[in-house]
Amino acid sequence: MNIITIEHVAKVYEVGAEEVHALRDVSLKIDKNEYVAIMGPSGSGKSTLMNILGCLDTPTRGLYNFKGHNVSEMNDNELAKIRNKEIGFVFQTFNLLPRSDALHNVELPLIYAGVPASERKERAILALENVGLADRMHHKPNELSGGQRQRVAVARALVTRPSIILADEPTGNLDTKTGEDIMSLFNDIYQQGNTIILVTHEEYIAEHAERIIRIRDGLIERDENVIKRVIPKKKEEVA
Amino acid sequence: MKNYLFELKEGLLISLRAIRANKIRSVLTTLGIVIGVTSVVLMSTAIKGIDNVFQKGVSSLGSDNLYIDKWEWFNNDIPWWELRNRRNLTLEDYRRYSESAKLPIAAAPTVWSIQKIKHKNTTLEAIFITGTTNDYIRTTNLTFDEGRFFNEIESRGGRNVVVLGNTVAKNLFPHRHALSEDIKIKGQKFKVVGVLSEQGSWVMGSFNPDNQVFIPIQNVFKYLQSQSFRSITINVRAPNTQMIEPVKEEAIGIMRRVRGLKYSEANDFSINQQEGLLNNINQTIGVIQIAGLFITSLALFVGAIGIMNIMFVSVKERTKEIGIRKAIGAKKRTILSQFITEAVIICLLGGLVGFLLALILSMIVNQFLPTSVQVDAVILAVIISLITGVVSGFAPAYTASKLDPVEALRYE
Ligand SMILES: Nc1ncnc2c1ncn2[C@@H]1O[C@H](COP(=O)(O)OP(=O)(O)OP(=O)(O)O)[C@@H](O)[C@H]1O
Ligand SMILES: [Mg+2]
């Protein structure tokens, strides 16, 4: 079953008199329980695509169908609802509320979903347990390490049980070791039956996915399934 | 609806957290509202106090009284020289009036003089002396601390007796009873037969009974000034408020006859009543109210601008936060109500502090001007804070709600 279908999507930014074609003509389908990595050089349009897929932004042209709903025609309120209920974001810079503790950060999407306080708390604590941070739930972001912060962000993305997880360079601000921890967390999430789209620059990160989409200049260059090696750690061989 | 209440509650918690995170700034911002609300509440309380004092002063005059006088007290319709050229009212006019008047409870002539009074080594300068008859007491609501008013025999006989106003008695006899003591007015000995209880209506100044002494009218003419020196005033008390008009009509008829006026001649006397005074007072208080409201609303306006300013700064600073909230599902309405709620809370806190401050200050004011903070002032403070919050919070909140999530997330 397709969760996401986009057809001939383009995004044009107007900077002064100039037009920047961030996406030119992109079509793709994402199935339930897929694990997709999006790769490409800087400025190729990866984040732009993610923002459109995540309903943070709307395409200039083209069709976007999310679980049978035409997103291109939705108003701000409907988009907010989709973001809240169907999509879990994980950002490169974590994007946690700095003044709120981990628990409240994870609770926040449930607040906007109108979940009653007691149930909310229970679910938030459970989500933090799943990422191994139950003992840190009353810590503020600046009292947590980068990896821990990203795990809080992952917990926040998962807490609403969304249809899809979107992660834009989730390991970009982390060292290799911590990045690997986060990636194995994503693996677990994937194994539990979630759908993940992940943007990355690193081949060895992308190899965790089952499918890699390569973008260049706002166009899909290649879209292929990963042939899993027996020893996926040897990244030089792939590159 | 339930969902909206829910959002409101969350908005409240978010706002409280934001306010706590920026304590100093919130306090400084709130100061404007504190001052605004303090001044509004204090002003309304002070005006109430002024009003109280005036009303009390007026009612100590006696609410059912008329004053037949040469002078028109409150009305400027008649030119003053015309008033001056009127013949004085005399004791004889009074005698003939009181013989014919059927409706009043009582009528008494009064005449005033300003004199020094003495007891032993204590001298009081410029005391307001009212000369009158024993009937006077029945035209007033005055009560006594000790003694009584002078009686008919003392009044007719022109005995040297005196009734002291409360303040006068206190000043002249700081440590003991005044009753039966002698005082001197212009060298003449007068025996104290009564001391009035405190009236406390200081607004009437030297007309306040507290600051006066009363002696038989004959003695004023005998010792202080001649009969022709000053017109007398006839104090007339109607049985009740409804009877004021008939009493007035009757008085005009009798006085025209007494004064021998022809049909074509205008009245050469005036019938004064405190309604005129009340009108004057209400006008004055109205002006004070408008001026006070204007000044205090300026203070509030400045406070509101301060809040609006700080809310704009806050929205700018928290652009990223707004982006995050939107990315995880906050609607426009949610963001809007979050920031409005924050402004309203700041204003309500400010209003509360301002109100408490006003409460304390009003106790100080109370020393000079008997007053107290009224319930309507509480309601006023709450409503004002609420409105100020919504008004000053709306524009910044609207800006916040309209932010594009992608742009906001990119903001550093
Ligand atoms: N708001 C914007 N206004 C104008 N141009 C924009 C805007 N956002 C993105 N662009 C342009 O669109 C193109 C694609 O940007 P995008 O952020 O999608 O790249 P990316 O693939 O995510 O790059 P990176 O790997 O560096 O994150 C770039 O040329 C960028 O300059
Ligand atoms: Mg990017």
Of the listed ligands, the closest to the CA of A22 is 1
**B215 φ, ψ (degrees, to nearest 5):** -135, 160
pLDDT of residue B61: 63
Averaged pLDDT, B113-139: 92
pLDDT digits (tens, 9 = 90+) for B356-380: 998 888 888 777 777 777 777 778 8
A44, pLDDT greater than 60:
yes
Q: What percent of chain A stands above pLDDT 90?
A: 87
Burial class of residue A96 in the structure, from the number of CB atoms within 10 Å of its CB (0-12 exposed, 13-18 middle, 19+ buried): buried
A90-104, A223-237, B299-313: segment of lowest average pLDDT: A223-237
Q: What is the CA radius of gyration of chain B?
A: 33
Please tell me if residue B27 touches chain A, with a CB cutoff of 8 Å. no
- Whole-model pTM: value is 0.71
How is residue B187 annotated by DSSP? T
If you count residue pairs, one on A and one on B, with CB atoms under 8 Å apart, how many are there?
63
Question: Measured between CA atoms, how close is A227 to chain B, in angstroms?
Answer: 34
**Residue A239, pLDDT above cutoff 50:** no
Asked whether the predicted pLDDT for residue B203 surpasses 60, the reply is no
A42 lines ligand 1 (CB under 6 A): yes
Identify which has the larger pLDDT, B287 or B255.
B255
Pick from A226-230, B259-263, B349-353, B388-392: least confident: A226-230
Q: To which H or E segment does residue B173 belong?
A: none
Q: Which residues of B touch A91 (CB under 8 A)?
A: 409
What is the pLDDT at residue B204? 58
- Is a pLDDT exceeding 50 seen at residue B146? yes
Q: Which of B171, B179, B117 is nearest to B145 (CA)?
A: B179
pLDDT of residue A183: 94
Residues of A in contact with B321 (CB under 8 A): 97-98
CA B316 to chain A, closest CA, distance in angstroms equals: 15
Whole-number average pLDDT of chain A: 92
The ipTM estimated for the assembled molecules is 0.92
Q: Could you tell me the end-to-end alpha-carbon distance of chain B, in angstroms, rounded to an integer?
A: 36
Tokens 């409105």 -> residue: B387
For residue A111, the chain B residues in CB contact (below 8 A) are: 10
CA B172 to chain centre: 29
The overall average pLDDT reported for chain B is 86
pLDDT band at A63, cuts 50/70/90? very high
Cβ pair B331:A80 closer than 8 A: yes
Question: Is the beta carbon of A93 within 6 A of some atom in ligand 1?
Answer: no
Instruction: Choose the weakest-confidence range: A171-185, B64-78, B156-170.
Output: B64-78
**B16 and chain A in contact, CB less than 8 A:** no
CB-CB under 8 Å, A95 with B327: yes
Res. B205 pLDDT band, cuts 50 70 90: low
Q: Which domains does chain A possess?
A: 2-227 (3.40.50.300)
Q: Which of A58-67, B25-34, B90-99, B123-132 has the lowest mean pLDDT?
A: B25-34
Read off the tokens for B126: 């410029």
